[in-house]
Amino acid sequence: MPVSILPSEEKLEKSQSRDMTKGVPVAFDASEEAVVMTKYVSMDPHRADFKPEGEWFEQITSDLGGKGKSLRITVEGDNGEPRGVTIHDGLIIDIVGTYSGIVGIVPGQPPMTERQAEDFTEANGTRIPRFQKWDFRVKGVLKTNGPQAREALHRNEDQKVADSKDEMFKAFKEMFSAGQLAMNKTGELAPSSESVLKAGIKATAK
């Protein structure tokens, strides 16, 4: 069962005085057993030097499903149906992983319990690598102004590009005007564009 994010518009409106760049807490609907992600950490010290302890904290900004996986963390879409959270929703989701045991993993097969792994080894004579299993659950959700901030940043960048182009066109216009004036003084009636530009660069460089 996926975890549903339930942004409260009333709560957000009352929180506008708070710094939305840091996020405003919003509600989510999930059972205590709603695991949204599972990670496996090898117990072989030659394969993994990372050994988490206690709780394993991570933050995400989009659904963990996709690529054939079922939805894990959802919001209500425009059509009223649940859809996976995307980075454009401006949500920061805290997920916490807790240790849930040792499993054996063989490529192409689901994780085995320790007993299953021992039975497999006895039957096939092959030792199965062991991994720590960590299950992650949603512990908190913040709503930020991320989408608006990104949109404002893009607008600022677009404006900078437009201003740069205006300055460039203005500079070329001034050079051509100065070049045309300089060529007129020489008495040349039909100078080439290249000659005018060279004369303009020389005139404006003074």
Residues 6+ apart with CB under 8 A from 171: none
Model confidence band, residue 153 (pLDDT cutoffs 50, 70, 90): very low
Please state, in angstroms and rounded to a whole number, the distance separating the CA atoms of residues 167 and 156.
16
pLDDT of residue 104: 94
Nearest to 6 by CA among 33, 36, 30, 37: 30
Q: State the Cα torsion 87-93-98-100 to the nearest 10°.
A: -50
The pLDDT score that the predictor gives to residue 44 is 87
How confident is the model at residue 190, as a pLDDT?
Answer: 63
* pTM of the complete model: 0.64
pLDDT at residue 53, rounded to an integer: 85
Residue 204 has pLDDT above 70, yes or no: no
**What pLDDT does residue 64 have?**
84
pLDDT-derived band at 188, boundaries 50, 70, 90: low
* pLDDT for the residue 199: 67
Which residues lie across from 73 on neighbouring strands? 3
If one compares 77 and 15, the residue with the highest pLDDT of the two is 77
**Confidence at residue 137, expressed as pLDDT on a 0 to 100 scale:** 94
Identify which has the larger pLDDT, 204 or 67: 204
pLDDT at 23: 75
CA distance 157 to 183: 39
Q: Is the pLDDT of residue 77 over 90?
A: no
Residue of 161 and 6 predicted with greater confidence: 6
Per the prediction, the chain carries an average pLDDT of 78
Q: What is the mean pLDDT of residues 64-69?
A: 67
- At residue 30, the pLDDT reads 80
DSSP code for 48 = -
More confident residue, 36 or 205: 36
